[in-house]
Amino acid sequence: MLRETLELNIKRLIDFLIYSRNFIIRKNPIKAMINSITDGLRDFLTMKKKLKMAQYRLNYHRHQFHKMEQLIAENNQHSFLKGTHLNETR
């Protein structure tokens, strides 16, 4: 009786270890954790560069918007719209 339970428990332990090994091979949580840490570090280290690129794009689009406003104001027949006021009828 004792021997049978001992064999059964050893078999269950071996099955559990086989399932655990297969899970670690399939999912590889250590590699996933390392990849996550490196991605976070890469994002953190390139944050300043991304911020500068976003500011550049924002300034470029703002400049294009002001150029468009100026062209519209120059071609508009109402002289009070020439300047910095936005034409609200557009």
Do 54 and 34 lie in a common domain? no
The fraction of the chain above a pLDDT of 90, given in percent, is: 69
User: How far apart are alpha carbons 59 and 17 in whole angstroms?
Assistant: 59
- Tell me the CA end-to-end span of the chain in Å, nearest whole number: 91
Put simply, whether the predicted model's pTM sits higher than 0.85 gets the answer no
Residue-wise pLDDT tens digits, 67-80:
998 888 777 666 55
Chain position carrying tokens 């609200």: 88
Residue-wise pLDDT tens digits, 33-76:
999 999 999 999 999 999 999 999 999 999 999 999 888 877 76
Do 61 and 26 lie in a common domain? no
User: How far apart are alpha carbons 72 and 62 in whole angstroms?
Assistant: 15
Among 25, 45, 65, which residue terminates a domain?
45
Structural domain boundaries enclosing 66:
49-90
Do 90 and 59 lie in a common domain? yes
CB-CB contact of 73 with 87 (8 Å): yes
CB-CB contact of 81 with 87 (8 Å): yes
Do 1 and 36 lie in a common domain? yes
